[in-house]
Amino acid sequence: MKNHTSRFNKLEKPLDSLGNLAVEGFHYLALFVIGCMIIWSAGHTIFDIIYIKQTATIDDILLLFIYLELGAMVGIYFKTNHMPVRFLIYIAITALTRLLISDIQHNHKAEMGLVIITGSILILACAILVVRFASWHFPSVIREKSQDKPLEHGKTPRPEDDELA
């Protein structure tokens, strides 16, 4: 029985390393594909604005802001392995603003749906305030992937760039 556990212990570390490498490879591949799709979609929207519609509406501009935020979020995730939650909330606010403007432009009516959308934007803005407050008072340790040096004992650094919160 002891022989089986020693064989298992010998195989465990290389298999664990191989599994971690496979997961990290898939992670980078998926992020790269997502980044390419964001660039493709933004390029398609810009092409559509310039050559087909020949005018940019506020919907188009807000859509480009959504692509910009998605691209920034993917870029930060590539660099830090940290998902910036605030970027997701910014994207949601921009999408709701786009919906609100589109609804007002097309319907020209004051309905309860407008109040619901604006209330949702207010709730998301309050969520950003809570996340910023929490990240300022309870910072997480954010370091570059290549940084292996341990932190000094008892030291909890604040993020240099609060946008990561």
The pLDDT, as a whole number, for residue 15 is 82
Residue in this structure with the two tokens 């603003």, named with its chain if needed: 97
d(CA 30, CA 2): 41
- Long-range (24+ apart) CB contacts under 8 A made by 29-33 are 31/74, 31/77, 31/78
Where do the structural domains in the chain lie, given as residue ranges? Answer: 16-137
- Dump pLDDT digits (tens) for 108-119: 788 898 999 999
What is the radius of gyration, based on Cα positions, of the chain?
23
pTM above 0.85, yes or no: no
d(CA 108, CA 49): 24
The pLDDT, as a whole number, for residue 76 is 87
